[in-house]
Structure 1
Amino acid sequence: MPDKNRTFIFKVTHRRAYAMYTKVMVVDSQRLIREGISRLIDADSDFEVIATASNGREAVDVAREKCPDIVVIESQLPRLSGTEAVRQIREHCVATACVVISSMDSPSQVKQALTAGASGFVPKDAGAADLIEAICAVREGRSYLAPSLADQVVSALTAKTTEGQAGVSDLTVRQREVLQLIAEGFSTKEIARELGISLKTAQTHRANVMDRMGVHKASGLVRLAIREGLVAA
């Protein structure tokens, strides 16, 4: 006959209580870095990496599907720059905070990331603790900027833009996508295929970008894209 006074102990094997951790997505073009950051974040019981991506376009698509709380994203990505991906992710996922990591940490690069909607910016030569600190800060609704960048970036953010000088931010989303693909070496026909638009439309976007930016050769667009941080030099 069963003993009603016996105590049974059940071991719960769930990794974390669902509502207690923050969902994170990691985006980097290099697998080794992507996996390393993912493991670093997963080691903290307050966070869980639920998705990864290797390029900007994939990042936007996955973010729209998974709705992560935080996206840790490289600034220079193929197919769609990290800055543009942040802009589009923030448009579609208002509650998602973005932390940009970058090997290029000039004030103009940081300014572009923050203007696009990023809540944090961490140089790639920073320590693991800095990245975790940035993720914790944006989770709490705060912004994070590496101490080494703070003074320079504040000056850049408060500086006035030269009157009449056009920048990438003046372009439409589609025009920025076309600019990056041109800088990555895509032909107009390849751009049309990549973006799912007609050849004529791609040609029109290309011409409009060159006219708006005041350049007349593809080489000028490449230099512009490098200067604006859309692609690496």
Structure 2
Amino acid sequence: MIRVLLADDHRLIRSALMGLINSFEGIQVVAEAGSGSEAIAAARSNRTDIALVDSALLPMDSGNLIAQLQSVDPAVNILVVSTYISDSYIRRLIASGARGFIHKDATVDELETAIREAAAGRQPICPGREPIGPCTTERETDQAPARHASLTRRQREVLRLLAHGYRSRAIAEELNLSVKTVETHRTQIMRRLGRQNMAGLVHDAIRLGLLPVPR
């Protein structure tokens, strides 16, 4: 059984999500919360595998809710649900310790998949519609180590800066390269790693240790 903590500040949305999640085979909502402090209290009182958290609850007077939940239960996998959809926002969430991201425009199937993938230790990114693309997970990178080995030292440096949100011009200045050379490296990196968007590159950067994820 995958045990879920559901945190959203709208009671009606919590109720709807609870009924939906409880309809998934082998998944059950064991606690709910309407605020960050309630989420922390629920995490202390219940053993959970997944914390499904609305992004509106993340900022807290005592610090970011992701860090607070992980301090209570380091093993919990946090999935952030949000209307925001940008590579930089998703990168910040992953870097702050979130296991994955679900856009509110994602499908029911993607929600179920994200919960199962996160519980299995993978990092689902389900951004809904454009501009980033369909739901992806680390499962797509199971064969990635061989491709990682094909990256040159310079390409790893470029990948690290890309994953940290640097644009091509900033990377060029940092590495003393031309913008055209940086763009060439970026194209080669994406081709060698089999990626088509930044969300996938962030996964690879984490796997390579270029973008550490705080625990």
* 2:55 counterpart residue number: 75
Alignment partners' CA distance in 1, 2:58 and 2:166? 30
Alignment partners' CA distance in 1, 2:12 and 2:101? 20
* 1:115 counterpart residue number: 95
Q: Please, which of 30, 41, 46 is the counterpart of residue 21 of structure 2?
A: 41
- Check whether the contact 2:8–2:53 (CA below 8 A) recurs between aligned residues: yes
Report the Cα offset of residue 133 of structure 1.
Answer: 0.7
Report the Cα offset of residue 110 of structure 1.
Answer: 1.4
* 2:76 counterpart residue number: 96
Report the Cα offset of residue 36 of structure 1.
Answer: 1.1
- Check whether the contact 2:58–2:66 (CA below 8 A) recurs between aligned residues: no
Alignment partners' CA distance in 2, 1:107 and 1:150? 11
* SS, match of residue 76 in structure 1: helix
- Deviation by residue 1:110-148 (Cα, 9 ceiling, x = unmatched): 122212211110101111111111001011111101265
Letter in 2 for 1:105: I
Counting matched residue pairs gives: 140
Letter in 2 for 1:145: I
Distance 1:33 1:47, change over 3 A: same
Alignment partners' CA distance in 2, 1:99 and 1:78? 11
Trace 1:18-29 onto structure 2 (pairs within 5 A).
21-29=1-9
Q: Please, which of 39, 43, 46 is the counterpart of residue 66 of structure 1?
A: 46
- Check whether the contact 1:98–1:118 (CA below 8 A) recurs between aligned residues: yes
- Check whether the contact 1:29–1:78 (CA below 8 A) recurs between aligned residues: no
Alignment partners' CA distance in 2, 1:150 and 1:118? 20
**1:159 equivalenced with 2:165 (yes/no):** yes
Letter in 2 for 1:27: A
Distance 1:113 1:159, change over 3 A: closer
Identity %: 28
Alignment partners' CA distance in 2, 1:48 and 1:109? 29
Letter in 2 for 1:61: A
CA-based RMSD of the aligned residues comes to 2.8
TM-score (norm 1): 0.54
Report the Cα offset of residue 79 of structure 1.
Answer: 6.9
Alignment partners' CA distance in 1, 2:59 and 2:41? 13
